[in-house]
Amino acid sequence: MGDPITDKVFEATDIIDGVTDLQKKKIRHGNLTPDNILIFEEINEPPYKNRLRAKISNLGSSSPSSDNLVLDTSTAGWRTPEEIKQKLTDEKSDLFGLGLVICFCLTASHAFGNDENVRHNIMDTSVTSRLSPVDKDFITGLLKALPDDRSVASSLLLHPTFWDDTTKAWFIWEINDLLHRLDWAEFNQFNLKKQLIFNGYQKWDCFIDHEVLMRYTKDFKNDYNEYSLQSLVKMFRNICAHLNE
């Protein structure tokens, strides 16, 4: 089997591809839940590892996405706000269900809790699952109360949740170049003292492994400001440059 984290990303990618394909075919699934996702093992030839993959199943509740209907076919606890309110639904309702399923895939928990408050939390879109900031941004983009505010299926795989390590490293590299070109007097929104970045902490060094900090900053401690986003990105770029040498 492959790495558990990587398998989860593969599964999430497959589910997104499935919903995107349904939307291209003008089909609304109507009942996206973890029970309607089939997980199977993909057997690969060495040196490639076997992977867990996913397919969407149970299209018994599906309908043409061109039909704006008031549906009551989805599973209790996995309904969208518009279904709970018994309003018209369309293909964007599947995006809400997709957010719930992907969250379950990543965390093994319901985005809105596993108790009697699920319905209330869905209406308030109060996500309770423990997610990384990047994954939470991805999930909440799908779990908007208003269908028109939800992310577009065709662009979901461009989100940083699905970036590989090389893409992340190049992003940091490019951001570092951008920050050097900015007029910082006009760019106060990135000032860590003025925004609740890094979960409300003002200094970023507490989020970096101590051994990494010591290894890459011990000779240049004065070059880094723990309150500066620019310094944080600079350190990441220097680490990437060092690893590429």
| 50, 1 contact by CB (below 8 A) | yes
- What pLDDT was estimated at residue 138? 93
Closest CA to 78 of 59, 102, 97: 97
Amino acid in position 90: D
The string of pLDDT tens digits covering residues 14-59 is 999 999 999 999 888 889 999 999 999 888 888 888 888 999 998 8
Asked whether the bond before 160 is cis by omega within 30 degrees of 0, the reply is: no
- Mean pLDDT of the 91-104 span: 92
The string of pLDDT tens digits covering residues 139-191 is 999 999 999 999 998 899 999 899 887 887 777 777 777 666 665 555 554 44
The string of pLDDT tens digits covering residues 107-136 is 889 999 877 788 888 888 788 888 888 899
Measured distance CA(157)–CA(178) in Å, rounded: 24
- Mean pLDDT of the 229-234 span: 72
The string of pLDDT tens digits covering residues 63-76 is 776 656 656 667 88
Q: Which of 31-35, 201-205, 206-210 has the lowest mean pLDDT?
A: 201-205
Which regions of the chain carry the CATH code 1.10.510.10?
4-162
What kind of fold does domain 4-162 have according to CATH? Transferase(Phosphotransferase); domain 1 (1.10.510)
- What pLDDT was estimated at residue 197? 47
